[in-house]
Structure 1
């Protein structure tokens, strides 16, 4: 005796099979695409071995990556695929070669000595893309800023923190503010500026401050008692917001990150800072020697 499946049961089985196939496809389509371990996806933590400072030539289409401390872990130049420049803009770049120092080099890291200086040579992709001449920039790997949003920046030349913000800064540091000025503001309302505190009985203190609503973040600069070189060599004992510029400001789950350029009589200090709790940490730093 042969067993026959009733037509109604066959119809039901087909319906279930079709439904199952649709729900399986839908679940696959809905699954988010991630890269790397789930715990690390889009954490926003910046790493020094994925970043390299550099500067542009006179045409603004070539970049020389600055060599860093040989004892630290640095990125392979071939992994650097983009350049970030003030105010938070980006272009693609391609690696050319390691450029050896020429016998004609005067030791300056500027556009006039670009072809004679030692470093990692890059070119900006697309001839239509052009950076400013002799500009400090930051080279980055493809995923260095994964999870970050770059904020729109506006440079401020004569702005000040509000009296409310100054009072909050004085309370946080327990020191009187004697001088302050803004460096830049973001479209989201954050303010970045330089504050100099009264000396009192301790060493001179100044801070780069990011103020956003109820948040204050400090990067402190501790000076010395040399009135001619308090903060930087030959600074005449002066420090102000005019000595600073920002390559970028970004936000991620980790918090704020800044690309800071600090101008001095002998050259420029370059630093990437990232929020770590209520403070900044240094991700990477370098500098350009530019004495005329």
Structure 2
């Protein structure tokens, strides 16, 4: 009887072992086939970790890259190889070092305090190149703008959107326009401007608008009810096209992209925005504190 039970137990153990061996053999190929497929970003989609804002010194030969906020995506300074500046032109740059803040710093991010401010220090690669002094610029990695075409900008002197365009904007936003003006146009006929809407019962609203033959793209600025600091500190409730400058305008399969500088009482807000449908998304942002 004991022999019979022992034989049954042995048979059962052998069956379990064979089943486990068979299951392992059949499962291994299935696991090997389950490879993750990387998700590719659309051609031309800009990335925060390939872009850094900066500003120039008094000579226009050196650039200090602005330190970004902790926890957000930022590029390694050694990966940045070019600088974009108004109106959408580029120079090659070479990284020098991380510059520490001096005890002599007055806290301003301007050319006069350039040597005392903290940031990533670059120089223009070729001695024959020169930028304007105290100019806001955008540093970029080698392939940051792969697939992009930079559009030539035309200066605008007190330009306006047409009445037909304003009517289309009012219909889209369901709000009347109080004031408006162009920031820039491209040689291909694209218009970029700023509209301020009638306040009504809602919060103050203004929009940066890009208009081409196919439609409109908006970057909205929602204000608050402080009449002295509605959109920016000490703006007196005012916003207009005169407060904006474009570092560049480009186009790719991902849509339009803009480098925007927004002047304020205490300095400049700097953003790279890219089209996502009928709106812009913020790719990279920073700012320069330059209050007197």
Question: Per the shorter chain, which TM-score range?
Answer: 0.7 to 0.9
Tell me the CA shift for residue 242 of structure 1.
0.1
Residue 144 of structure 2 is aligned to residue 144 of structure 1: yes
Q: Assess if the C-alpha contact under 8 Å between 2:104 and 2:116 holds in 1.
A: yes
Q: Which runs of 5+ in 1 are unaligned?
A: 1-36
Residue 224 of structure 2 is aligned to residue 224 of structure 1: yes
Q: Assess if the C-alpha contact under 8 Å between 1:42 and 1:147 holds in 2.
A: no
Residue 156 of structure 2 is aligned to residue 156 of structure 1: yes
Separation of aligned partners in 2, 1:189 and 1:288: 31
Match of 1:127 in 2: 127
Q: Assess if the C-alpha contact under 8 Å between 1:50 and 1:144 holds in 2.
A: yes
Q: Which runs of 5+ in 2 are unaligned?
A: 1-36
Tell me the CA shift for residue 214 of structure 1.
3.1
Q: Assess if the C-alpha contact under 8 Å between 2:217 and 2:277 holds in 1.
A: no
* Equivalent position SS for 1:170: helix
* Equivalent position SS for 1:199: coil
* Equivalent position SS for 2:201: coil
Q: Assess if the C-alpha contact under 8 Å between 2:42 and 2:254 holds in 1.
A: no
What does 1:109-258 correspond to in 2, within 5 Å?
109-258=109-258
* Equivalent position SS for 1:145: coil
State the TM-score, normalizing by the size of structure 2.
Answer: 0.86
Q: Assess if the C-alpha contact under 8 Å between 2:266 and 2:289 holds in 1.
A: yes
Match of 2:281 in 1: 281
Tell me the CA shift for residue 154 of structure 1.
1.4
Tell me the CA shift for residue 157 of structure 1.
2.8
Q: Assess if the C-alpha contact under 8 Å between 2:273 and 2:282 holds in 1.
A: yes
Q: Which runs of 4+ in 1 moved over 3 A?
A: 37-42
Separation of aligned partners in 2, 1:156 and 1:39: 41
Match of 1:62 in 2: 62
Match of 1:265 in 2: 265
From the superposition, tell whether residues 80 and 188 of structure 1 become closer, same or farther in structure 2 (CA, over 3 Å).
Answer: same
Separation of aligned partners in 2, 1:275 and 1:41: 14
The size of the alignment, in residue pairs, is 256
Q: Assess if the C-alpha contact under 8 Å between 1:42 and 1:146 holds in 2.
A: no
Higher Rg = 2
Separation of aligned partners in 2, 1:49 and 1:64: 17
Q: Assess if the C-alpha contact under 8 Å between 1:229 and 1:236 holds in 2.
A: yes
